[in-house]
Structures are given as structure tokens and as C-alpha cells.
Amino acid sequence: MQKRIYGIETEYGIIFTPEGRKTLPVEKAIRFLFEKLITTEHFLNVFLENGARFYQDTGCHPEYATPECASPGQLIIFDKAGERILEDLQLYAEEKIREERIGGRLSIFKNNTDFVGNSYGCHENYLVDRDVDFYYLAEQLIPFLVTRQIYTGAGKVFQTQDGIHYCVSQRAQHIYQKISGTTTNDRSIINTRDEPHADREKYRRLHVIVGDSNMSEYTNFIKVGTCSVVLQMIEDNYINKDFTLRNPVKAIKDITYDATCKRRLRLDNGREYSPIEIQREYCEMAQKYIEQYPVTDDHKKAVYMWQHVLDCLDTDPDKLDRQIDWVIKRRLIQSWVDKHKTTWTDPRVLMLDLQYHDIRRERSLYYLLERKGQVERLFNDEEIDAAKSNPPQDTRARMRGEFIKLARENSIQYDLDWSNIRLGNLLNVRVICNNPFETDTEKVAELVRTIQKTNLRKTSLSKLVIQS
């Protein structure tokens, strides 16, 4: 597909640290987060004016799902906007907590693991043609997804019986299958959930649940951009090499423990490659592909960045200490360890690891580096702030976002999901939006006119009553 819809679902970790005997259950903290968003919709499941969805997921995690986006770059902007929206809600929740006379600190983290070993996800969604054989696509994609963590990992300090390990990926430890239908217990690399939120006869949703949540715009962009290029190559039958791993689940764990990114992996054909070598093979194919096939500027940019990152990983990973999350964080922790003349076994190292992912910009170690100009940015604050309240203009999200604004302004009762808009006192007026590429429909335009007429009649009647 030359045109594709992209989405990211990010589950956030949330902690309340009390300062006295009185504490606050996480469930109540989450309700405070949602309280500011109360509408006619379900209390813990809200669509926002930028077209995104914000809801409580399994395990008391606030989750932000981006609106439908038409490019990797747009997707990263709206993913970052989710951080800013949640940061605003956190400030509101903290005020409500103070009103309850509860002393303590509420923290929200964009990471994938907590201190007791639980994992929560960052799920990528890619719209694919229904005509493409799903299992063929998945098998072709798995070697790429297993090895891409060398530049998409968020990094993690793991404390085990053998001591402290710094791992490339947070999510890799919690993957147990290649392909499955669950996202919680037996987590897989690719999920089989067939919910396209679009015309089922035309489209399917590829649900990738193996990725880490990224703070770095650079890391997040290359994660989505390279995957999109590989997807397009698979759809065009361009990949002519077999990188099927003999044991992909074992391989994904082996890779994460090797910060050199050069541990050999055995393929089904008996050959052995390092993660860098497998990624180079994909990257070289992509370089030839973008010269022969029509691709977007974002795809060209992603392939250029891909080559740069692999060159650095092959020679000196520390060269990526402004770009790739796991390298940025490792440098940060090592600098702290050196400055304080301590070791990685210092308990404070675990807190540094966590604080890197804090979404509050005044507390986050990542954003401290950003303020100091020590990490590379791809987008600016103006673009991200605009995405907090304005939907993408080139996907179905535009209709949803603009309808929500209008309905709230006019106190119209409504309910909606990704593909449907329902309104009226009985929610019996329905508009179906099955085409995710569509930005406007006559049905939605008619809804707008109906709302405006209704509001005008209410205004006229109010004036009449006043005059009487």
C-alpha cells in the first residue's frame, strides 16, 4: 500500500507515592485523570478533539491511542501530543488529590515495565490490504521485528540473581510466542486480532505488540518508518531472501542482553547472522526498493536514518547518544555513576532508569536532556501542541475531531467509536465511516447542519421567552 493508515496505542505506568499514612488507590488517581474529560461518553473511555482515544486499559493503565495518521512523521507528532495531553490531565489530578487532603506525588511514566515485573505495551497498528496473506506477511516481518530492537529499544536496567544487566529492550523480556491472539498473558511479536476499524472486505489491521514505548522522537520515527518500508516491500513481493529464525522468541531475548548487537543468531537454513547483519540486509533491499518504487518522503528519510544508525551500531553505538533511546539512557546513567563515583548496583540507578520516562517535562530526565539540547529532535513544540486539539486533516480522524468539537459546543448528546458516530437523545442517528482515508462525507456535513439548525431554534425560542 502506497497510502497507509498508522496508529500507536501507548499504555502508561502510574504510581502514587504517599507522604503520610493516608494513601490513594491507583484506581482513584486514574478516575481523577479522566474527570476533566467527562462527556456524554463512557467515563473511562473518551474520544478527544484531536480524534484520539483515551481510556483505562487492563491493569489500571491509562492508555492513549493516536488518531488515524497518514504518515510516520504525523504519527510521531500525535503520539507526542498524547504525552502532553496526559501531562495536562496529571496537573488537574494532582489538584484534585490536594483537595482530598492527601499528601504525596503522582507520577506517570511512558515505559513498559514496573518494579515487580509487570509489563504494559506500546502497540503499533498498520492498515494492510485484505488481499495480502496475513500469515505470509507475518512470517516475512518477524525476523525484522525481532532484530530491530537494536535501534528501537528503550533500554532497561534489570536486576537479576546474576547481578545488574542493562538490556536493549524493555518489552523483549515479556514475549513468549511468534503470533497469538492475546496481548496480556502469552504475548507475541504479532497479534492476530482482526479489528480493522474499517471495511473488513478491503482492509486488515496489522497489530504489532513487540515494540517499546519511546521518548526519543528520532527512535520512534525510525521504528515506524522502517517497519512501513518493509511492509511495502513484502506487499510488492520484493523481499527475495529468507531470514526465518530458528527460534525467534529465544532470539529476541538473546539480542536484548547483548548491547554490542553482534551476538550470532541461527536461521532455519542453518546460517548464522548478527542482528546488525540481518538489519543491513533489509536496509540494503530498502535502499534499492525506494529507487525503483514510488515511496513517500518519510520512507526515504527513514531509510537514510536506518543506514546511519546501523553504521554507528557496527562501529561505536555511543555515537547514537543523541538519537536512540537505549544509548541515550545508558550514557546518562554512566555519566551519573562516574560523577558520583559509584557503580551500576547503586539502588538509585533504578530510579534514574524510571525517571528517564517521566512524562512531566519538569521531572523527566529525557526532557532535561532535551532542554539542554543533548538529544536530537525531528519536530517542534508548536507542531505537537497543535496536535493536542486538532485532528489530522487527511484521514477519517478529521471528521471525528471536528464533530466532537461541534457537539460539545452545542451540548449535543453523542456516542462514537472509530467507525461510527451516533447522536440524539436516543443515539438513534448514526453515521458509518468505514473508509479511514475519507476526510469528509455528506452525511457528516448534514449532521453539522442539523446541529446548527437545532441550536438556532433553541436560541430563537430562548429570545422569544425572554421577550414575553
Catalytic annotation, residues: 57
Helical segments of 157-274, H only: 217-235, 248-256
3-state secondary structure of 431: strand
Integer Cα distance of 90 and 100 in angstroms: 15
Integer Cα distance of 18 and 40 in angstroms: 33
Q: What residues have CB less than 8 Å from 48, skipping those under 6 apart?
A: 37, 54, 85, 401, 404
Write out the three cell numbers for 41: 461518553
| φ/ψ of residue 215, rounded to 5 | -85, -40
The alpha carbon torsion through 368, 371, 377, 381 (nearest 10 deg) reads 110
Closest by CA position to 209, among listed 329, 128, 310, 112: 112
Contact, 245 vs 148, CB < 8 A? no
Write out the three cell numbers for 346: 547503586
3-state secondary structure of 329: helix
Angle at CA of residue 189, ends 187 and 191, nearest 5°: 70
| φ/ψ of residue 165, rounded to 5 | -125, 135
Closest by CA position to 109, among listed 9, 29, 16, 14: 14
Integer Cα distance of 280 and 148 in angstroms: 10
Integer Cα distance of 8 and 227 in angstroms: 13
Q: What residues have CB less than 8 Å from 236, skipping those under 6 apart?
A: 289, 293
Integer Cα distance of 140 and 244 in angstroms: 8
Sign (positive or negative) of CA dihedral 434, 438, 442, 444: positive
- Cell 540486509 belongs to which residue? 281
Closest by CA position to 170, among listed 318, 338, 329, 15: 329
